[in-house]
Chain A
Amino acid sequence: MANRVAVIGIGQTHHRSKREDVSIAGLVREAAQRALDDAGCTWADIDAVVVGKAPDMFEGIMMPEHYLAAALGAVGKPMFRVHTAGSVGGSTALVAAHLVAAGLHQRVLTVAFEKQSDSDAMWALSVPQPFSAPLLAGAGGYFAPIIRAYMRRSGAPNDVGMRVAVKDRLQALKNPYAHLHLPDISMKMVEESVLLWDPLHYLESCPSSDGAAAMVLGSEQAATVAESATGRRPAWVHGMAMRSEPTMFAGRDQVNPQAGRDCAKDVYAQAGITNPRAELDCAEVYVPFSWYEPMWLENLGFAAQGEGWKLTESGATALDGGDIPWNCSGGVLSSNPIGASGMLRFLEAALQVRGMAGEHQVEGARKALGHAYGGGAQFFAMWIVGSERPN
Chain B
Amino acid sequence: MSKIPATRQGHRPVAIVGFSQNHSVRSDSTSNEVEMLLPVIHDVFDRAGLTKDEIGFICSGSTDYLIGGPFSFVTALDAIGVWPPKSESHVEMDGAWALYEAFVRLQEGDLDTALVYGFGKSSLGDLDEIFNLQLDPYTMAPLHPDLVSLAALQARAVIDQGLGTEEDFARIAARSRRDAMNNPFAQIKRDDDVATLMSEPYLVSPLRRHCLPPISDGASAIILAAGEKAFDYAEHPAWITGIDHRIETHAFGARNLAVSTSTAKAGAIAGVGEGHVDVAELLTPFAHQELIVKAALGLADSVSINPSGGPLSANPLMSGGLNRLGEAAQAILDGRATRTVAHATGGPLLQQNLVCVLEGA
Which chain A residues have a beta carbon within 8 Å of chain B's beta carbons?
A: 1-2, 23-24, 54-70, 74-85, 91, 94-95, 98-99, 101-104, 124-125, 127-132, 241-249, 251, 257-259, 262-263, 375-376, 378-379
Q: A64-B137, A247-B78 are in contact. List 12 more A-B contacts (CB 8 A).
A: A55-B71, A60-B137, A66-B346, A67-B136, A76-B261, A104-B107, A129-B67, A131-B32, A243-B86, A244-B87, A246-B82, A259-B85
A56 and B78 contact, Cβ closer than 8 Å, known pairs A63-B347, A77-B247, A104-B107:
no
Q: Residue among A24, A58, A246, A251 with the most chain B CB within 10 A?
A: A246
Is the pair A244, B130 in contact by a Cβ cutoff of 8 Å?
no
Q: How many residues of B contact A (CB 8 A)?
A: 66
Contact with A along B260-279 (1 / 0, CB 8 A): 01100100000000000000
Residues of B within 8 A of A127 (CB): 68-70
* Residues of B participating in the A interface, judged by any CB pair closer than 8 Å: 10, 32, 58, 63-65, 67-71, 73-75, 77-78, 80-93, 97, 100-101, 104-105, 107-110, 124, 130-131, 133-138, 141, 244-251, 254, 261-262, 265, 346-348, 351-352
- A56 and B63 within 8 A (CB): yes
On whether the beta carbons of A69 and B248 are closer than 8 Å, the reply is: yes
| Complex Cα spacing A83 to B72, Å | 11
Query: How distant is B346 from chain A, measured CB to nearest CB, in Å?
Result: 7
B246 partner, pick from A66, A78, A131, A244, beta carbons under 8 A: A78
Contact, CB under 8 Å: B251 / A70: yes
Q: A2-B109, A76-B261, A78-B244 are in contact. Are A243 and B88 (CB under 8 A)?
A: yes
What are the residues of chain A within 8 A of B351 when measuring CB–CB? 66, 69
C-alpha gap A127/B248 in the complex (Å): 33
* Distance in angstroms between the alpha carbons of A139 and B122 in the assembled complex: 27
A244 and B80 alpha carbons, distance in the complex (Å): 11
From the candidates A82, A95, A99, name the one contacting B92 in the complex (CB within 8 A): A82
Beta-carbon nearest neighbor of A88 in chain B: B90
A103 neighbours in B (Cβ, 8 Å): 10, 107
Distance, CA A243 to CA B138, complexed state (A): 37
Give the complex CA separation of A258 and B86 in angstroms.
10
Contacts of B10 in A (CB 8 A): 103
Q: A61-B134, A85-B71, A130-B124 are in contact. Are A66 and B352 (CB under 8 A)?
A: yes
B246 and A77: CB pair below 8 A? yes
Docked Cα-Cα span, A57 to B72, in Å, equals 12
Q: Which residue, B63, B100, B136, B138, has most C-beta atoms of chain A within 10 A?
A: B136
- CB A130 to nearest CB in B, in angstroms, measures 6
**Most chain-A CB neighbours within 10 Å: which of B89, B134, B138, B246?**
B89
Contact residues in B for A66 (Cβ distance below 8 Å): 134, 247, 250, 346-348, 351-352
Contact of B247 among A59, A60, A75, A258 (CB under 8 A): A75
Which of A2, A55, A78, A244 touches B70 (beta carbons < 8 Å)?
A55
B64 near A56 (CB under 8 angstroms)? yes
B108 touching A1 by the CB < 8 A rule?
yes
Cα-based distance from A127 to B67 in the complex (angstroms): 11
Q: List 11 A-B contacts (CB under 8 A).
A: A2-B108, A62-B130, A67-B135, A70-B254, A75-B249, A98-B101, A103-B10, A103-B107, A130-B124, A242-B87, A378-B74
From B69, B89, B247, B346, A91 is in contact (CB under 8 Å) with: B89
Residues on A with C-beta less than 8 A from B105 are 98, 102
Once bound together, how far apart are the Cα atoms of A67 and B165, in whole Å? 30
Q: Is A61 touching B352 in the complex (CB atoms < 8 A)?
A: no
User: Given A24-B137, A63-B63, A70-B249, is A81 in contact with B92 using a C-beta cutoff of 8 Å?
Assistant: yes
How far is B85's CA from A263's CA once the two chains are assembled, in angstroms? Answer: 9
User: Are the CB atoms of B89 and A63 closer together than 8 Å?
Assistant: no
Q: Are B248 and A56 in contact (CB under 8 A)?
A: no
Sorted from nearest, which 9 A-B pairs have the closest CB atoms?
A55-B70, A102-B107, A1-B109, A259-B85, A244-B88, A2-B108, A66-B347, A83-B92, A62-B133
Q: What's the Cα separation between A76 and B90 when bound, in Å?
A: 23
Q: A63-B134, A66-B250 are in contact. Are A83 and B73 (CB under 8 A)?
A: yes
Q: B133 touching A60 by the CB < 8 A rule?
A: yes
Instruction: Tell me the minimal C-beta distance from A153 to chain B in angstroms.
Output: 21
Q: Quick check: B137 and A80 within 8 Å, CB to CB?
A: no
> Which residue of chain B is the closest to A84 with respect to CB atoms?
B90
Q: Which of B65, B69, B251, B351 has the most CB of A within 10 A?
A: B69
CB-defined contacts of A65 to chain B, threshold 8 Å: 92
> Is B247 a contact partner of A241 (Cβ separation < 8 A)?
no
* Shortest beta-carbon distance from A285 to chain B in Å: 18
Which residue of B131, B136, B248 is within 8 Å of A76 (Cβ)? B248
B92 touches A125 (CB 8 A): no
Residues on A with C-beta less than 8 A from B141 are 61
| Closest-CB distance, A321 to chain B (whole angstroms) | 36
In-complex Cβ contact of A85 among B74, B246, B352 (8 A): B74
The reply to whether A69 and B249 form a contact with Cβ atoms under 8 Å apart is yes
Chain A residues, Cβ within 8 Å of B104: 95, 98-99, 102, 104
Q: How far apart are B52's CB and chain A's nearest CB, in angstroms?
A: 11
Closest-by-CB residue of A relative to B139 is A67
Residues of A within 8 A of B75 (CB): 132, 247-248
Assess whether B244 is in contact with A242, with CB atoms less than 8 Å apart.
Answer: no
Give Cα distance in the complex from A98 to B91, angstroms: 15
- A239–B161 Cα gap in the complex (Å)? 52
Chain B residues with Cβ under 8 A from A124's Cβ? Answer: 70
Contact, CB under 8 Å: B63 / A95: no
CB of A370, distance to nearest CB on chain B (Å): 16
Q: Whole-angstrom distance from the CB of B14 to the nearest CB of chain A? A: 11
User: Please, which residues of chain A bring their CB within 8 A of the CB of B246?
Assistant: 76-78
